[in-house]
Amino acid sequence: MKITSASKLKSQMGRSVRWSILAATILHAVPTQAAEAAEILGLWEQVATNAGACRTCTIEFQAGSSGLSVTANNGWAASLRGLDKHDIVGTGRWEDRGRAWVSGKPFTVSFRREGNHLEMTMTIDTGADPKPVVRSTYRRAWQGV
């Protein structure tokens, strides 16, 4: 039978307590982030933007095996990696349609819930500074129910 010294036992218990606290903190934070991300799943329609009015512009958030993603009906998509403070953030790219100034350009994007609306900030990497910033506001699309 192995006898453990009191100081070694105390050290092991201290590590165990620290790991328990860390695990509890992580487990508490993950459901909160998952719940906040789940609140935006589905279809949203644009109600305002600084990039020119678009009555038919929509975005759709989906959860998949590789995480959360968003796709727009006007040619861009992004993979979202989670929360940064209160924003859901990620990176994406505009489709290469060859006609628009954004064609094929990468961007960073963030979304924030503000009451019944969703605020988006997209910074497009054009290869020059200052980088254009698109700000849009969305609301839940009416589902006919």
pLDDT of residue 79: 97
User: What's the pLDDT score for residue 78?
Assistant: 98
pLDDT of residue 44: 97
Contact by Cβ (8 Å): 88, 108: no
**What is the pLDDT at residue 117?**
95
How far is residue 123 CA from its own chain's centroid?
A: 14
Domains identified in the chain, total number: 2
Q: Confirm whether 73 is domain-assigned.
A: yes
Is there a single domain that holds both residue 66 and residue 127? yes
Looking at the fold, whether 113 and 88 belong to one and the same domain comes out as yes
Residue 105 lies in a domain: yes
pLDDT tens readout for residues 46-77:
999 999 989 999 999 999 888 899 999 999 99
Q: Which domain holds residue 16?
A: 1-38
Instruction: Return d(Cα 91, Cα 89) in angstroms, integer.
Output: 7
Percentage of the chain lying above the pLDDT 70 cut? 72
Mean model confidence pLDDT for the chain? 81
Please tell me whether residues 67 and 103 are part of one structural domain. Answer: yes
Average the pLDDT over 89-95 and give the result. Answer: 96
Same structural domain for residues 16 and 46? Answer: no
Q: What is the pLDDT of residue 8?
A: 54
- Is residue 5 in some structural domain? yes
Q: Which CATH number do you get for residue 72?
A: 2.40.128.20
Q: Is 70 found in the same domain as 30? A: no
- The answer on 47 and 16 residing in a single domain is no
